[in-house]
Chains A and B, each alone.
Chain A
C-alpha cells in the first residue's frame, strides 16, 4: 500500500491545435495538462520546465504552461448493463440473489446505490457535474449540477435503473457511442473537462469504434478516466475485457483504474479509486506548444517528465 501512495502520477491532456492570433504565420498547439499527484507531490510543484514534448518524434518547445485552477467539468458516465450491475463472475452471481419485492431492473443495486457515496464526495464545491448512464438503447444525461445537493439529485435522475427497460438492461453496452455523446455534453464547458467512465469494458452494439471515440475525445480536449470492473476469465487465455477501455483512457490522457468485482458491490463510502481520478482533473494545466515545424496531419504525441517516479499521462495524438 505504501508503494502505491508514494507513487506520483502526472497526467497531461492536450487538446486540439489552434492557430495563434498574435502570430498568424506560426501555429501553436493549445491544450490542457492534467496533473494528478499524491500527497508526496503537491500539484503546485509541477512546472513546464519539468516537461518535454515530442510530436511526430520531434522535440517541440513549450511556449506556456498554465495551471487550470478553475472549476472542473466532470461527467460521470455509468454502464448500467447487466454484466456491470450484476457482475461478470459466476460466483458473484450467486451472491447477488434477487431481493424480495424487487423486480428488475434495480434488482441488484449495489453499484448504483453505492456509486454516489463513492464518487460525489471527491468533487470540489464549484465543480460542474453531469451524470450519464447507458444500456442498450437507453442513454441519458442529467442536467449540470454545481451545488452539492443538486449533485445528488442529478445523480439520482441519471443513474436510475428503472429508466432502462429490461430489454436494454439485458442488451448491448455501447460504451464508445456513449463516450462520443458524453464528449458532446462537455464541449461548451470550460477546461479542464473530463469523463469518468464506470464499466466492465464489455462494449457492444457501437456505431463507432474505440479509435473514433478516442479521436473525438482528443479533438475536444476531454480526458476519459476509467474505473473498470475486472473480468473473471483468465487474461492468459483471452483478451481481457479491459483491453479497449484501457486504450480509451491511456490514449485520451485519462487514468485507468481496475476495481475488483466483489468490491464494487460494497461501495458505501468515498472510494479512493475515484479520488485519484478527480484529483487528476483538478490538477489540470494547459500547455501551449510551438508546432511551426510540425507538418499538417495527425501525429503521435509524447509528453515526458524529468521528475523521478512521476508518470505523465497525455493524449497519444495531436492534430495539426
Chain B
C-alpha cells in the first residue's frame, strides 16, 4: 500500500522534473526534483533502469544517494513494493490500417499481463475521443472491447483531450494509477474539434499522481515527419516510461516489462537539512554502473 510511505501533508511546489543519472552515467540535461522544505520527512517514489532499459528491482538502500541542493542527505526511509495497477489504456490507431492491427496486438498483450488485483479501461482517440466506461479486472471484457471498438481514425490526434478525459475516468484508490498510451506519438492536431492543451493535461496528470507511459509503434515511415512527441514529454514529466516497439519485437515480453515497471517502485525518505519553506532541488543517484533512477513526481513527494 502506498499509505505505508508514512506520508502526510508535504507541499510540492513544482512538479516539473524527473531525475537523475547514476554516478557513472548521467543524462546530459539532468532535471531535478524540486520540493519545499518545511517538513520532517520527504518521501519520493523511484524506479531504476539499466541503460539497456531493463528494470532493476533488486536495489537496496545503500545503492541510492540523495542530494539536497547538491549536498548528500541520509536515506532514512526505504522500501520496495509491487503495487496493484489502475490503468487507462489509451490507443491512438491513426489512419493506417496496419497500425490499427499492431496497436490492438500490443494492447491485447498488455491486458494479458494484468493480474487479478489490477483494473483497467480502454479508450481510443484520434479526432474522436472514446472512452469505454467499464473499469474492470476482467480481461475477457477488455479483450472484447479491443476486438469490437478499435477503428482507423481520420489522421488527427487529440491527445490533450484524450489525456484529460482519461484522467477524469481513472478511479482514485490505492493502486498505482497510470495512463498507458499506445500509438505513434505524433503531435496534437485537433482540426475543428475542441482542443485541450497537452501541457495542461500533463500538469493535471502530475498533480493527480498519475503516471503516463508511452508505447510507441510505427509500422511504416510516416508521410509527414512526426514531431512534438507529446506522450514522451508527459511520460518524462510524470516519471512514467517510454518504449518503442519495433517490428519483430517480442510484444509479450515488452508488455510484461512495462507492467513490471509500473508495478514496482522504491520509496526513499529523507529529512530535509533545513526547514525554511523554500524550494530546494533533490537529486537521486544510483551507485551502480549504467543505472538510471527516475522519480515518480506524479505522486507528490510526501512528508510526516
Enumerate chain A interface residues (CB-CB to B < 8 A). Answer: 81-83, 88, 90, 93, 98, 104, 107, 136, 166-167, 170-173, 176, 202-207, 209-210, 233-234, 237-238, 241, 244
Contacting residue for A170 out of B124, B145, B151, B193, CB 8 A: B193
Which residues of A have CB within 8 Å of B14? none
Contacting residue for A233 out of B124, B148, B152, CB 8 A: B152
* A207–B145 alpha-carbon span in the complex (Å): 9
A177 to chain B, nearest CB (A): 9
Known contacts A204-B151, A238-B97; A171 and B128 CB within 8 A of each other: yes
In the complex, per-residue mask of B83-106: 1 if CB is within 8 Å of any chain A CB, else 0: 000000000000101101100000
A22 to chain B, nearest CB (A): 42
The 10 closest A-B pairs by CB, nearest first: A172-B130, A204-B130, A204-B149, A238-B97, A202-B151, A170-B193, A205-B130, A237-B97, A209-B144, A166-B194
Known contacts A171-B129, A204-B128; A209 and B148 CB within 8 A of each other: yes
**Cβ–Cβ contact A233 & B132, under 8 A:** no
Identify which of residues 117-172 in chain B touch chain A, using a CB-to-CB cut-off of 8 Å.
Answer: 124, 127-134, 141, 144-145, 148-149, 151-152, 154-155, 158, 161
Enumerate chain B interface residues (CB-CB to A < 8 A). Answer: 95, 97-98, 100-101, 124, 127-134, 141, 144-145, 148-149, 151-152, 154-155, 158, 161, 192-194
Known contacts A166-B194, A167-B194; A238 and B130 CB within 8 A of each other: no
Which residues of B have CB within 8 Å of A88? 154
* A245–B270 alpha-carbon span in the complex (Å): 58
**Cβ–Cβ contact A233 & B97, under 8 A:** yes
Which residues of B have CB within 8 Å of A234? 97
Which residues of B have CB within 8 Å of A136? 130
* A269–B145 alpha-carbon span in the complex (Å): 37
Contacting residue for A207 out of B101, B134, B194, CB 8 A: B134
* A11–B131 alpha-carbon span in the complex (Å): 36
Known contacts A93-B154, A207-B133, A234-B97; A244 and B148 CB within 8 A of each other: yes
* A205–B124 alpha-carbon span in the complex (Å): 9
**Cβ–Cβ contact A172 & B128, under 8 A:** yes
**Cβ–Cβ contact B134 & A210, under 8 A:** no
**Cβ–Cβ contact A206 & B97, under 8 A:** no
Known contacts A81-B128, A90-B155, A104-B192; A205 and B133 CB within 8 A of each other: yes
Chosen A-B contacts, 21 in total, with CB atoms closer than 8 Å, are A83-B128, A90-B154, A104-B192, A170-B194, A171-B130, A172-B130, A173-B128, A176-B148, A203-B148, A203-B149, A204-B130, A204-B132, A205-B130, A205-B131, A207-B133, A207-B134, A209-B148, A233-B97, A233-B152, A237-B97, A238-B152
Q: Across the two chains, which residue of chain B brings its CB closest to A83?
A: B128
**Cβ–Cβ contact B154 & A170, under 8 A:** no
Which residues of A have CB within 8 Å of B144? 209
